[in-house]
Every structure is written in C-alpha cells, then in structure tokens.
Structure 1
C-alpha cells in the first residue's frame, strides 16, 4: 500500500517531468515547521501548485490517474481539483498560469519551511518569490476584542434562528462561534496561532477545547457558549458586553422553559 510519502514522491517527480509545467511547489502542513518540528502526519493532505507555460493546460484528473487510482475526483467549492486515492490520501492540485505565480505574495505566511516547497523552478522566479513572501510579516490573527465581538454576533444570530425552531441552522452558526472561542482560547493560553484556529486544538487547549466542543447545537449549547464567552472575556480583560449576554441568557432560559412545556 503506497504511503503518503510514496505518493508525494510520485507527484513531485511527475510535476518535474511534465513539459507544460514551468514551476511547481508543494504547500500546506507538509511544508510547515514549528520550533523545528514538522506539522504534518499520516493524516495530512498533499497540496500542490503547478504553474503552466503560456497557452498550455493541464488535465489534472488524467495527470493524477496516471500516478494512482482515484476513488473520487471533484472540483471543490473553491474551484480547486481534489482527489481521493484508495488509501484515502487526499490530493489537492491547483493548475494555474505562470503569470499568476505572484499571487503567492498574498498567501498567509504561517510557519512555512520554504526549503520543502519548491518542486520545479526553471528560471529561479519561484525561489525569488518565496524569499519575498517569507521576508514579509508572519500571519497574525485579528485583535482579541474584535474576534470576541464577532463571536457574540454569531451567537445572537444562532439564538434567533434557534428560537424560530431552525435548530440545524443554529448549529451551522455555532460553528462560527466555536471558531471564535477557539481563537480566543489560544490568546488566553498563549498557544501558537494558525490560520485554522482549530488546528491541534485538543493538543494545545486542554479543557478549553473540551468546553468549546460542547457548543454543538440546541438551546443548552448556546447557553454553554454564553458561559464560555464570559470566562474568556474576563480572562483576557475584554469588554464582556454583559448587558447583551444577560438579555440573551434571559431569552434562552425562557425558550428552555417553553421547550420543556411542549415536551410535557
């Protein structure tokens, strides 16, 4: 059974040998390091960019099927080809024109190891761009107060649709609440910040992660979220917006009583 490393080597070699590709790179967790330690494991994705010569196209599906059987091939919600192999390895391969390579400069710079990224670089332009990119500021999250206020906004929205009886929609909005609470927990614990706040959350955030995971849907979950908001805002010395939370809690307690009467 091919390992993730085996498949990575195959794809890197194929990109290097593909005549229509002038530049190629890997990105994602397999090209990231934190305090010298790799951030990937056997569950990581394989992620690549292939930059094409002018006037050429790359049939991504055919390219990958030449290297491995595929159980699934789909263009995802963001327009990127994704594939799943029989080993359940997930591969994401962007095919872009070479003149789009400067878009790299707008990527979030978060724990990148640029020595692990280049695959093919015929004229040195890719190496130059990567040096520019990593010489810029590292990615940082927004201010804690702003994140907290945004989280409260989603919380009020979730409570409103829950009151209407749209519990599935409320659960969707609570996903944003969990994301905000997770980001705030990283601030509180001085944990590493990643663009994906939930990355390594169980490892980094301890009890905070367990509490945030309980914000999973329904009126009781929204009440638990309010309690977590209060604790986080107090610990981070933020504006708690106590009046808002009090009013929201009052409405939810009334809603709980109404739900109990309906069940009885």
Structure 2
C-alpha cells in the first residue's frame, strides 16, 4: 500500500468513530481511483461543533506543518512530503455548489449519519458543464490583450501572471478541439498523456505573440465566429 492509502484508512477509522461528524467525504485522485505516490489525500468533514483542525489531523499521523490556505482549507504535511487537504464545515449544502464531483457517490461517502450528504452529492454532476467554444475563445483573448498591454508597459511579473491565464485557456481550447475533456477543471492535469505532443508543445508559450498564433489557429479550428476587426488588430499588434 502507498503511504497515502495508510493515511486514508486512518482518516476513515477516526472519522467513523468520531460522533461529532455528521458527514465526511473524500474527493480527488484516490476517490477517482487514480491516486499514486505523488497524490494528495483530500477530505471534507461536516460538523456543527467547532473542530481544532491541527489537533484532529495530528491524530492521523505526525504532522510536520499545518497551514490554512487561501481557500479556507486546512493543509497539513505528513512525513515523506505527503500533503493532506482537509475542509471543515458545518453544512453539507456547500457541496451542492460544486461544478462537478469527479467520482462516484459511493467512492466519496465515508460518513453520512443523516443521509443528507448522499442526497447532495447525487445532485452534483459527475463532470462539469463545458462552456461554449465562443465563450472560451473570448476569455482567452481577454487575458491575451491584458498580457499584451502589461508586457508593452514593462510590467514583467504582471505579464507573466497574465500569460499563465492565457496558457490555461489555450489548454482548455486544445482540450475542446481534441475532445479530451476528462480533466476539464484542471486542464494541465495529465495533459502530457491526453493531448498530442505537438499541440501540447505549441500551447507552452511565454510571449503574447506566440500565444496569439496558437490561439488564433485553435479559434478557427473550433469553428467560432471570427471578430474580424479584433483579429486584424491582434494580427498587426502581435505579428
């Protein structure tokens, strides 16, 4: 067994024995059956009582560090650089706001003392709804024009940040063009295995001009209506 699998088994035993939890679910790679030695362990815990996250997580295994991340999740590091992401909340209704669950309900439910968790999970689609191709292309060009302007202004770090969004949208456009949408919410996940090497290499760009060449071709390939004036301006600015 992987170290993560031992930790997951320990979490399952602990939370099933802890009557404070009304419901517990696991998500991510191991719930999906694709976890490996590099994967996180990921859980949501639901309780109306206040839970000391660090103290509770230290029951799983020795914790080398704990931090509350920018999304409100408690992230702990176990020995061997195993990362655990744990969300503590009061109401299972928050799960109903997810764009997708990514795994079967049976593989996600760990504790469901009132039956509410299963009902909410079953209301969430397995896979996310995909945006219209034209909407996706528009989002790409939104970030591209920003990257162009801040690059011209000499804001190197801001340009790099904008280009990260540009590349992510190029990956989404590439996945849509290739009909490879299994890992839509995180388009870089397993991209090396799921996209043609030449196409993947083409979206790994750092300059707005290169991104426009790739994005322009994908825009046309996706069959989206072409805004001719905008295309002409971008061709002139980024040639």
Tell me the TM-score normalized by structure 1: 0.83
Among 194, 208, 211, the residue aligned to 1:204: 194
SS at match of 1:83: strand
2:208 is equivalent to residue 222 of structure 1 = yes
**Equivalent runs, 1:1-264 vs 2, <5 Å:** 3-32=3-32, 38-52=33-47, 54=48, 56-97=49-90, 100-134=91-125, 138-193=127-182, 194-206=184-196, 207-213=198-204, 215-216=205-206, 221-252=207-238
Number of residues paired by the alignment? Answer: 237
CA RMSD of aligned residues (A): 2.0
Instruction: Kindly name which structure, 1 or 2, has the bigger radius of gyration based on alpha carbons.
Output: 1
| Per-residue deviation, 1:133 | 3.1
CA offset at residue 46 of structure 1? 1.1
Offset at residue 240 of structure 1 (A): 3.7
Q: Which runs of 5+ in 1 are unaligned?
A: 33-37, 254-264
Q: Which moved more, 1:108-117 or 1:221-230?
A: 108-117
C-alpha contact (below 8 Å) 2:28/2:102 kept by paired residues: no
Tell me which stretches of 4 or more aligned residues in structure 1 moved more than 6 Å: none
Structure 2, unmatched stretches of 5+, are none
Q: CA deviation at 1:95?
A: 1.1
SS in 2 for 1:73: strand
Distance in 1 between residues matched to 2:66 and 2:128, nearest whole Å: 31
Q: Aligned partners of 2:170 and 2:200: how far apart in 1?
A: 9
Quote the offset at 1:155 in angstroms.
0.5
Alignment check: 8 A CA contact 2:101 2:127 kept: yes
| 2:2–2:36 CA contact under 8 A, matched in 1 | no
Q: CA–CA distance in 2 between the matches of 1:129 and 1:67?
A: 27
Q: Deviations over 1:35-81 (max 9, x none)?
A: xxx333222211111111x3x21111011112222222110011111
Cα distance in 2 for partners of 1:16, 1:130 equals 19
Following the alignment from structure 1 to structure 2, what is the Cα–Cα distance between the partners of residues 240 and 171? 27
Conservation of the 8 A alpha-carbon contact between 1:110 and 1:195: no
- Does the CA contact (< 8 Å) of 1:24 and 1:118 recur in 2? yes
How has the CA–CA distance of structure 1 residues 65 and 130 changed in structure 2, closer, same or farther, with 3 Å as cutoff? Answer: same
- In 1, Cα distance between equivalents of 2:100 and 2:2: 31
Partner deviation per Cα, 1:176-233 (whole Å, 9 max, x = no partner): 11111111111111112421222221111122221111x12xxxx2111010012101
Secondary structure of 2:46 counterpart? strand
> 2:25 & 2:140 partners in 1: Cα distance?
36
Measured in 2, the distance between the counterparts of 1:131 and 1:150 equals 31
